[in-house]
Amino acid sequence: MNLDVLIASAVDGLLIGFVYGVAAMGLTLIFGVMDVINLAHGPLIAIGMFGVYEIFTYVGMNPYLALIIVAVVGLAVGVLVYFVAVHRVIDAPPLSSLLSTFSVNMMIIGVGTAILTTSAYNVDFSLPSLDTGPITVTGTRLAAALIAVGVTALLYAFLYRTRSGKYIRAVANNRQAAELMGIPSTRILALAFGIGTMLAMTAGGLIATILPINILAGGTYELKSFVIVVLGGLGNPLGALVGGLILGLIEGLVPVFMKTTWVPVLEFGLFILILLVMPQGLFGRKES
């Protein structure tokens, strides 16, 4: 087991981990603000993938510029999904929102399969690889990681520096109290759902620049997101980023030592372990 392989694998894992982190942030933000587990998370990631693919392939736009369009569309899609499927059940028992977001999941997959089939697509785009002696870092992966860090910084700037961001935190903290202070909670919830969706679709777009995509591929990242969210603590975006890095590192390093088929076993083993030992996650908010 030489050191080069170890370092190369760790770097690859960490870079993709940032992207996992962004996807998981979308899930955790929505949960943190409105206690809704968004089962349409995977298909929304897939829409982001195909958004970048379609714009790049048919308009010829640089995929990173396409990402901006996808993010804006993501916000709109999220708000739409919120009003169609989430708003009515926001205070109903959790099963209702699970079912309604699952319906959205089925609808997107159904329509997507009809139009795109489940075949794989590739965004035919490459950046020059970065060659540093023993390690070759692919350009698209590095760019995706940098953008993911940028997105996280923007999210925090938004949540802590803007009025709407503060409203979101207030509503997350105590919706009734926030409403009593005159915060328009419905609009804020819709906005939060929109931002969560935007993060999911942005992550999808980033993944499309690195890996092949298909309409069902979002499901894989949805599962990873769940593990990450539990790892980082439900409702904690920064925890999600760290969780993403941990997951990426596992995916990078485990195959060096054993067969790759062990990766999911270890990932979900960790998932169960965290649930048993520290259910609030590594950075979870303290439940009263």
Binders in 214-233 for other proteins, by CB under 8 A: 214, 217, 220
Find the part of the chain contacting other proteins (CB under 8 A) among 59-67, 137-145, 225-233, 278-286: 137-145
Report the nearest approach of other proteins to the CB of residue 94 (Å). 12
Q: Give, as ranges, the residues between 16 and 55 that touch other proteins (CB under 8 A).
A: 16
103 counts as binding other proteins under rule CB under 8 A? yes
Cβ nearer to other proteins, comparing 69 with 216 = 216
How many Cα atoms occupy the beta-carbon half-sphere of 64 within 13 Å? 14
Among 68, 72, 99, 278, binds other proteins (CB under 8 A): 99
Report the nearest approach of other proteins to the CB of residue 32 (Å). 19
Report the nearest approach of other proteins to the CB of residue 138 (Å). 4
Contact 192, 171 (CB under 8 A): yes
Contact 241, 25 (CB under 8 A): yes
Cβ nearer to other proteins, comparing 149 with 179 = 179
- In sequence order, what are the beta bridge partners of 137? 130
163 counts as binding other proteins under rule CB under 8 A? no
113 counts as binding other proteins under rule CB under 8 A? yes
122 counts as binding other proteins under rule CB under 8 A? yes
Let me know if 264 is exposed, middle or buried by CB neighbors in 10 A (0-12, 13-18, 19+). middle
Cβ nearer to other proteins, comparing 126 with 153 = 126
- In sequence order, what are the beta bridge partners of 130? 137
Report the nearest approach of other proteins to the CB of residue 187 (Å). 8
Q: Give, as ranges, the residues between 245 and 274 that touch other proteins (CB under 8 A).
A: 251-256, 259-261, 263-264
110 counts as binding other proteins under rule CB under 8 A? yes
Find the part of the chain contacting other proteins (CB under 8 A) among 113-121, 192-200, 267-275, 279-287: 113-121
60 counts as binding other proteins under rule CB under 8 A? no
Distances (CA, A) of 180 to 49, 164, 175, 184: 40, 16, 9, 9
Find the part of the chain contacting other proteins (CB under 8 A) among 67-75, 149-157, 204-212, 277-285: 204-212
